């Protein structure tokens, strides 16, 4: 499977309706999805991701139930998009090949298969299924700060050899400092850059999402993710509208209408935000301690229930090295901290 032809220097991928699902507690309505896709599509965004925050099959007790079935949302997005591709996220162990087939039938054109940064070996069957379905593919190497640039490149090689057209350095915790991000971008490009595009997905927990995106473009990364109003897990993603404005100032071609994205953020997304992602104490701790961004709401809920600070829960999650998919362990951490407080 060859890498797709790109029309611009950077392909902006908008994940408002997937990563933003975390910040919305997975309560997107069909109308919100339709309105957001229509605005993004008009602004020229080429790829729009739509699924539960934890990907296909994520609507569950463990991760949070969706307001509306994701297949309904995917189908609605497909109806509204006139030129954009509709992408879905699939985390092996949460989503299945059957889920992927249903998503394709609902109108998804692309799948982004996400694994922990050292576990790409669980992805080949999902890339093979996507190839059989004729879908475009990308691969998320999540929590990229948790392994070296060299090892991250080896994991990207596994994905590309399995049919991935765009492996990503995925900064799920918003923890990568600029020199750390650059080293990972350069390692991925050296390993697979002649065969696949390389992508970057950033979070703003330490405020480096935009800066790292600029570095990514400078060294040759071609897929860069954002979310309108930064809507995403933790303190949110790199804001798509800011990425568009920055790249326009730099003379980097993205094919998007900056004012169209500013209008989409201000007039479409902002009115339905119950919670605007921000760099508060809890989110900053996530970046500082290297904690998976989607843990934020789970930690805040556990903090309220067990009367321990959310930032203490998140810091402990970082100390013991929890990764995406271990949301159930947050309760254990809260109980441990509560017990320690009683003993103290």
Give the catalytic positions in this structure.
Answer: 22
Instruction: Write out the H or E segment, with its range, that includes residue 141.
Output: strand 136-142
* DSSP 8-state assignment for residue 269: I
Question: Binding site for Mn(2+), residues?
Answer: 19, 201, 203
| Four-point Cα dihedral 51, 52, 57, 62, nearest 10 | 170
How far is CA 77 from each of CA 34, 84, 213, 271, rounded to the nearest angstrom?
6, 10, 26, 19
Radius of gyration of the chain (CA): 18
SS3 164: coil
Question: Binding site, residues?
Answer: 18-19, 172, 201, 203, 292
Distance CA 11, CA 7 (A): 8
Using an 8 Å Cβ cutoff, are 22 and 60 in contact?
no
Using an 8 Å Cβ cutoff, are 105 and 95 in contact?
no
Closest among 183, 119, 182, 171 to 145, alpha carbons compared: 171
Question: Binding site for substrate, residues?
Answer: 18-19, 172, 201, 292
Closest among 152, 150, 151, 157 to 142, alpha carbons compared: 152
- Both tokens assigned to 140: 């998320």
Distance CA 172, CA 137 (A): 19
């Amino acid at each position: 499977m060859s890498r797709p032809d790109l029309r611009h220097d950077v392909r902006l991928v908008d994940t408002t309706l997937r990563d933003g699902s975390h910040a919305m507690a997975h309560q997107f309505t069909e109308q919100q999805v339709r309105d957001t896709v229509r605005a993004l599509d008009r602004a020229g965004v080429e790829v729009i991701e739509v699924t539960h925050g934890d990907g296909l099959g994520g609507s569950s007790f463990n991760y949070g139930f969706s307001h509306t079935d994701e297949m309904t949302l995917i189908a609605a997005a497909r109806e509204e998009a006139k030129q954009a591709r509709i992408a879905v996220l699939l985390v092996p162990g949460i989503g299945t090949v059957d889920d992927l087939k249903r998503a394709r039938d609902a109108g998804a054109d692309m799948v982004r298969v996400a694994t922990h940064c050292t576990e790409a070996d669980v992805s080949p069957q999902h890339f093979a299924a996507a190839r059989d379905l004729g879908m475009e593919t990308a691969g998320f190497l999540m929590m990229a700060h948790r392994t070296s640039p060299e090892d991250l490149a080896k994991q990207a090689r596994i994905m590309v050899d399995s049919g991935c057209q765009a492996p990503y350095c995925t900064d799920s915790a918003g923890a990568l400092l600029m020199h750390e991000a650059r080293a990972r971008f350069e390692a991925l490009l050296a390993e697979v850059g002649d065969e696949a595009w390389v992508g970057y997905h950033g979070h703003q927990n330490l405020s480096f999402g935009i800066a790292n995106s600029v570095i990514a473009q400078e060294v040759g990364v071609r897929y860069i993710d954002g979310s309108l109003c930064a809507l995403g897990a933790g303190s949110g993603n790199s804001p798509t509208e800011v990425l568009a404005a920055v790249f326009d100032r730099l003379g980097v071609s993205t094919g998007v209408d900056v004012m169209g994205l500013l209008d989409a953020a201000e007039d479409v997304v902002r009115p339905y935000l119950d919670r605007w992602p921000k760099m508060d104490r809890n989110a900053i701790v996530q970046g500082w301690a290297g904690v998976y961004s989607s843990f934020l709401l789970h930690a805040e809920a556990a903090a309220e229930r067990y009367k321990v600070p959310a930032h203490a829960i998140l810091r402990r999650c970082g100390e013991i090295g929890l990764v995406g998919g271990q949301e159930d362990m947050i309760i254990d951490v809260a109980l441990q901290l509560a017990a320690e407080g009683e003993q103290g």
